[in-house]
Amino acid sequence: MRASVAVVLALLFSVVTPIAASAATQVSEPVYDFAGAIRETVWVNTGLDGDADGQPDRVAADIVRPKEPAAQGIKIPVIMDASPYYACCGRGNESELKTYDSAGRPVGFPLFYDNYFVPRGYAIVLVDLAGTNRSQGCADVGGPSDVTSAKAVVDWLNGRAQGYTAKTGGSATTAGWSTGKVGMIGKSYDATIANGVAATGVDGLKTIVPIAGISSWYNYYRSDGATFGFNPVGLAQTVERGNSGQNCSAANQKLTQGATSNGDYGPFWSARDYLSTPGSVRASVLLSHGLGDLNVQTIHFGQWWDRLAANGVERKIWLSQTGHVDPFDYRRAQWVDTLHKWFDHYLLGIDNGIERGPMASIERAPDQWVDQSSWPAANTAGVTYRPHAGTSAGLGSLTTAPSSGAAAFTDSPRLSETDWAAQPSSVSANRLLYSTGKLDRDLQISGTSTITVTATPNTSTAQLSAVLVDYGPATIRNYTGSGEGIKTGTGETCWGANAPGDNGCYRVTTTDSVNVGSEIFSRGWADLGNYRSLSKEEPLTPGKPYTMTFRLASTDHVVPKGHQLALIIGGTDAGFLGQPRATTKFSVDLAKTSLNLPVVGAAPTFGLDVSVDLPLGLGHLRLNPEIRLG
């Protein structure tokens, strides 16, 4: 009896996951017919009624899966991308939308996942989030409805939720073809939903691959009490436009009321904060983020990663120099190979060693990658730096020695961080700048920095900004350009099989680089009125000093030998922050102001002359004040 069972198991494994001869290169092989794959839609009951029509919402899950395993009674795992963009905005660098035949059967599946993985024994499930495309309900921008949209499908794949053959009525249907093992993947909003579903701890979700994902929606719209000038309702209305049959006015009103005009953190944001339940995450995580991402900023991956690490989650990370870009469009072959091994390991159980390789892969210069055993890098420790007044007002040095004195500046809301940094040797009434001078060796900053500022405002409200600048010549990806670090060509490469209306060929992308004299590589913002608590803004007393600590964007950046690191302190950062309620004059207590940097190894020795020989000009474009997810 035992021998016959072993034979059956061996046969099943050989059919589902054919492998190469060497154990070190085991991979699933493309043995199934993609053109003849089963294509269907299942509407899954979420148990919610977001559109308030008195009926539970059903969300559409479009499925493509090989027919051969089902015919043989073999169950297969699922790769899922849950998105609100399949009708309104598209996915990938070429903005692909879902397409259907005249009977409503799904035909065109965006991205290469189906073309590549279905022949290898996976099902691809693309879920329309509630209120979008063909799903019922309403979008709630990362809230319970969004997350439940995707979680319900994971539950259905594991036999715990109801699925139907139609949007209304229809027959009940089950996922008897599924092993119940699910891997979620996606970029931006889609990645965010993967984070949110993982934070529920749902059984069956084995891994997630979040690309440029949000970990807390508060940090997408707010920053330590400061506001970015736009709110979730606009995004909800954008993604709901592709579903004209839903009335989401009431749900949209709740978004408007919940996202208060100030930067206070409250119940609305708590419901969209996936950091609050990190202990629930059981899925492994392959995370990717652009260090130049000014849309979903890097604090999102930094704080998510820290929570995952604290709870022992198995994980890896890719950090590129790009902006809001998918690795498929800047490191295509390596990314597909990594995804292949990752899903094979966590969904098919193949021991290919992917989990034992280096934890972090980081782009140091365009197309120049290094591996690290960890992120933050090994041997990283917090080092405190303090600003010191120089001979010119508002200019000085940045060292580890104690400081004294004060400096003053006036908030000018028309100026941005690029304006502040453009002339580092010049006195400005609108910012303070402190530099290390030329470094005698490389300085690697790996992790999330914090700044503590003690400032006295002359108004009852005030907002602060802090930026880190690497002064010195370099060639970097042009992450503030139109392609955010890539250029899209006319030729194509193909990744997987083709079927009528659904091919796996995509336009070739190349690196877009730029020569700069300086680079802003981290920044952070705060409302001084939230100095005591992010949950309650307080009116400030003019003439009274206040101390506030806030974070700067997570990074892994090397300031090379001979370059200078500078800290800039300013008020309203135009292009990021909304307009201030008053124009504030600040006096900053330098003795009680400090910058804590996560430095790798010993800190370099600083130069003595910080007032001359600083290169001018950033070579960066002015930032778009209306940044949205995409």
- Predicted confidence (pLDDT) per residue in 81-130, tens digit: 999 999 999 999 999 999 999 999 999 999 999 999 999 999 999 999 99
For residue 607, the model assigns a pLDDT of 58
Q: Same domain, yes or no, for 311 and 397?
A: no
Q: Which residues contact 215 (CB under 8 A, 6 or more apart)?
A: 192, 195, 274, 275, 300, 301, 303, 304, 307
- Report the distance separating Cα 605 and Cα 399, nearest Å: 9
Quick one: CA torsion of 46, 47, 49, 50, rounded to 10 degrees? -40
Please indicate, yes or no, whether residues 97 and 208 belong to a single structural domain of this protein.
yes
Among residues 189, 224, 272, 295, the alpha carbon closest in space to that of 626 is found at 295
Do 367 and 417 share a domain, yes or no?
no
**302 and 384 co-located in one domain:** no
Structural domain harbouring 458: 380-478+517-600
489 is a domain residue: no
SS in 3 state form for 479-531? CCCCCCCEEEEEEEEECCCCECCECCEEEEEEECEEEEEEEEEEEEEEEHHHC
In a 3-state reduction of DSSP, which class is residue 383? strand
Question: Do residue 401 and residue 270 come from a single domain?
Answer: no
Give the pLDDT band of residue 628 (cuts 50, 70, 90). Answer: low
Give the number of domains in the chain: 2
> What is the chain's mean pLDDT, rounded?
92
- CATH code assigned at 203: 3.40.50.1820
SS3 content of the chain, % helix, strand, coil (to 5): 20, 35, 45
**Catalytic residue flag (residue 527):** no
Catalytic residue among 145, 178, 188, 435: 188
Residues with Cβ within 8 Å of residue 244, at least 6 apart in sequence = none
Per-residue pLDDT reduced to its tens digit, 457-487: 999 999 999 999 999 999 999 999 999 999 9
Label residue 21 by pLDDT band (50, 70, 90).
very low
- Cα–Cα distance measured from residue 126 to residue 181, given in angstroms and rounded to the nearest whole number: 15
- Domain-located, residue 499: no
Instruction: At 596, list the tokens.
Output: 């804590």
* Cβ atoms 64, 123 nearer than 8 A: yes
**Is residue 324 annotated as a catalytic residue, yes or no?**
yes
Q: Residue 325 corresponds to which amino acid? A: V
CATH code, domain carrying 554: 2.60.120.260
**Residue of 300, 324, 345, 563 marked catalytic:** 324
Residue 310's closest CA among 356, 275, 346? 275
Q: Which of 57, 293, 502, 512 is catalytic?
A: 293
Residues 194 and 241 grouped into a single domain:
yes
Cα 116 from Cα 336, distance rounded (Å): 9
Per-residue pLDDT band for 26 (boundaries 50, 70, 90) equals confident
Is 289 an active-site residue? no
| 90 is a domain residue | yes
Residue 593: which of 438, 339, 409 has the closest Cα?
Answer: 409
pLDDT confidence of residue 459: 98
**Same domain, residue pair 367 and 397:** no
